[in-house]
Each structure stands twice: as structure tokens, then as C-alpha cells.
Amino acid sequence: MPELRASDTDRDRAVETLSAAAGDGRLTAEELDERVGAALTARTQGELAALTADLPLAADGAAAAAARDVVRIEQEGASTRRGAGWVVPRRLEIRSAWGEVTLDLARAVITGDTLRIDLDMRAGALKILTRPGIVVDTDSLVTSYAEVKTPRTLDTGAPVVLRVEIAGEISWGQVVVRAPRRIRARRA
């Protein structure tokens, strides 16, 4: 129904479909950015339908089926980035020394309501890119000569679609949680 108002859940579903399509190689990074921006500001279901009309319906279902329970990132002196279209697991184990891990949750395919990150990081950085509806909890994180930067919690009215719980330990490094630059620029 083109004239029905879109809800936050409708917009999130469209973003997930677009992210899965990008992960399948159906959209370029530029197309994904453009369509995600349009989806986040869409007012009607018709506007959202137009953004995904040329994509197969199976893309979203296939991504949901591809979600794994546990994913491990182990690295030393390296950099890892999970970008647009990656499927968020239920648990992520990160073991990193002298490296950086970036998780783009703003453009990821979110199939569950919780992501637990078990962190063991030495002299490195964990960067998490978020969007409204993603809540990051660092209360169970043990720090030693480390810095944790999380945005002030504001009630944006967006429903919580993903709760990220970070536990474990970080020494001589930092955890940074922020919105992607493009999303921040649109709000300014």
C-alpha cells in the first residue's frame, strides 16, 4: 500500500534487504549508501518498496539463513573490517594484538536482537559504527591503560533492533562507538 506510513521496523527491514543485496554483489557501495539514506528518511511504504523493487525477495531470507552463532577474528599486527552487508552473528570472539577491528553495524544485516562480543585485545582498537536502534553496553569490559568512548545515550524514539554486549578485556587500546561519518553529516 503506497500511501501507508512507514514504521521504523519497515525502514529497518528495507535497510537489511539493501545490505544483503550489496553483500551479494547486486548493489555497488555508492548505490547502497544512496538507497540506505533514502530508506532511513522514507515516509511511506511505497517509497520503501521503490528502493527494493529491483531486488529479489530471497536476498533478505538468504542473509538471515546465513547468520552464524559464533564468528572468530584472530589477528596480530593486522586490521580487519566488517563492512556493508556483513551478517551479524549471535556471538563474536575477537583476539587481537597490535591491530584494529572495525565493525560497521549501521549497514550490516542484523538477524538477531543481541550480539555478544568477547574481546581480548592488546594495544589496538575496536571501532563500532552504529545507527539509531543499536545500543552498545560496555559495562562488562575490563580496561587496563585503555579508553572507552561511547556516545551519550539519547532517547531517539527508535526501537532497539540490536543490543551489543561487550565483555572481556582491553589493554593499551581503545573501544570507540560512533555513528558513521555520512549519517552524522546528514543530521548536522
Residue type, 39: A
Domain membership flag for residue 41: yes
Check if the beta carbon of residue 173 is closer than 8 Å to that of residue 141: no
Check if the beta carbon of residue 85 is closer than 8 Å to that of residue 19: yes
Q: Are 52 and 114 in a shared domain?
A: no
Domain membership flag for residue 1: no
Reported in sequence order, the residue ranges of 145-184 that DSSP labels E, i.e. its strands, are 147-149, 162-171, 174-178
Q: Are 57 and 92 in a shared domain?
A: no
Q: Are 73 and 20 in a shared domain?
A: no
Q: Are 90 and 160 in a shared domain?
A: yes
C-alpha cell at 184: 552524522
Q: Tens of pLDDT along 76-135?
A: 999 999 988 788 999 999 999 999 999 999 988 888 899 999 999 999 999 999 988 899
pTM: 0.64
Burial class (CB in 10 A: 0-12, 13-18, 19+), 113: exposed
Number of domains in the chain: 2
Q: Which domain holds residue 22?
A: 8-63
Domain membership flag for residue 108: yes
Domain membership flag for residue 136: yes
Q: Are 56 and 76 in a shared domain?
A: no
Q: How far apart (Å, rounded) are the C-alpha atoms in residues 108 and 133?
A: 13
